[in-house]
Structure 1
Amino acid sequence: MNSSDFLRFLKARSSVRSYSGEPLDPEEIDYILACASTAPSAGNREAWDVVVVTDEDIRIDLALAALEQEHIREAPAVFVVCANYIRSMSHYGERGILYALQDAAIACTYMMLAAHARGLHSCWTGAFNENAVRELLQLPEHVRPVALLAAGRGTPPLRPVGRMPVEEHTHREIW
């Protein structure tokens, strides 16, 4: 893949909030997880974990915890990407909290792009009741849910989402 193909690939991805409900094959889930495991991480600590949720009852509860966002219920799989503070704090102390959050965000991004590469759709969801998700999935104290990544076969938006010009995000040398 050349750089033009890569940019086209990135521009073709969009957040999808409408899913067919057709289950993902175990190989598709494993592919997404394998891609996440290649993500860079601070000090190679890989301070992230994923809870893969395919059970409909749990997805219903996750949707409620996600402020009743229906795509969480509709998607056949939800990857709950978590920061695992212990892995990074054991090496970096308090700064490890930030690194674990960054590691989880990068891993989730890789998962989103992996789904796209397989012709699947996804939606990163950050709006959710953290304590409700923690309780529902029985997360340990040192693990923080960072994102709910809904994935499946969906209906992409009819038009591409507009983006700000890159110049509006870019500062050179100083702000």
Structure 2
Amino acid sequence: MDSSEFLAFLESRQSVREYGDEPVTEEEISSILKAASAAPSAGNMEAWDVIVVRSEDQREALAEAAFGQEHIEKAPVILVICANYVRSMSRYGERGILYALEDATIACTFMMLAAHALRLQSCWTGAFEDDAVREVLNMPAHIRPISLLAVGKGAVPAARTERMPVGEHVHTETW
């Protein structure tokens, strides 16, 4: 894959909030999780964990924790990506909190792109009540949910969401 093919791959990914009933296979989930393991990680601590949620009851409870966002309930699989503070703080102290957040975020990005490569759709969701998600999934206190990644076969929106021009984000040498 050359750089133009890679950029086209990235640009063809869209957040999808409409899912069909077709299940995501164990092989597909395994492939997505293997991609996350390839993600860069601060000090190679891999301070992230993921909870694979398929149960309709669990997805419904997560949707409620996510302020009623229906795609969380409708997608066949929700990958709950979490920052594991203890893992990175064991080496980096307080700075490890930031590293765990970064590790989880990068791992989620790799999962989302792996799903896209498998011709699955996804939607990264960050709007939810942390404590409600912790309670639904019986998570320990040192684990923080970072994103709810809906994954499945879905309806890609007809129009792409407008993006800011790259130049709006870039500063040279100083701000």
Task: Tell me the TM-score normalised to structure 2 length.
Answer: 0.99
Aligned to 2:8: 8
1:115 maps to a residue whose letter is A
Whole-angstrom distance in 2 between the partners of 1:14 and 1:131: 28
Aligned-partner SS, 1:113: helix
Q: CA deviation at 1:162?
A: 1.0
Aligned-partner SS, 1:162: coil
Whole-angstrom distance in 2 between the partners of 1:42 and 1:21: 38
Aligned to 1:94: 94
* 1:94-173 matches, cutoff 5 A: 94-173=94-173
Whole-angstrom distance in 1 between the partners of 2:8 and 2:162: 15
- In structure 1, runs of 5+ residues without a counterpart are none
Note the alpha carbon deviations across 1:129-155, whole angstroms, 9 max, x for none: 110000110111110000000000000
Aligned-partner SS, 2:86: helix
Aligned to 1:45: 45
Whole-angstrom distance in 2 between the partners of 1:23 and 1:64: 22
Note the alpha carbon deviations across 1:23-79, whole angstroms, 9 max, x for none: 111000101001001000000000000000001110000000000000000000000
Note the alpha carbon deviations across 1:65-103, whole angstroms, 9 max, x for none: 000000000000000000000110000000000000000
Whole-angstrom distance in 2 between the partners of 1:141 and 1:131: 9
Q: CA deviation at 1:161?
A: 1.2
Aligned-partner SS, 2:116: helix
Q: CA deviation at 1:160?
A: 1.3
Whole-angstrom distance in 1 between the partners of 2:78 and 2:96: 26
Q: Which runs of 4+ in 1 moved over 6 A?
A: none
1:147 maps to a residue whose letter is S
1:86 maps to a residue whose letter is V
Whole-angstrom distance in 2 between the partners of 1:43 and 1:18: 38
Aligned to 2:66: 66
Whole-angstrom distance in 2 between the partners of 1:22 and 1:64: 23
Aligned to 1:57: 57
CA-atom RMSD, angstroms? 0.5
Aligned-partner SS, 2:160: coil
2:53 maps to a residue whose letter is V
Whole-angstrom distance in 1 between the partners of 2:100 and 2:21: 32
Count of residue pairs brought into register by the alignment: 175
Aligned to 1:21: 21
Aligned to 2:32: 32
Q: Which moved more, 1:21-30 or 1:117-126?
A: 21-30
Aligned-partner SS, 1:157: coil
Q: CA deviation at 1:22?
A: 1.3
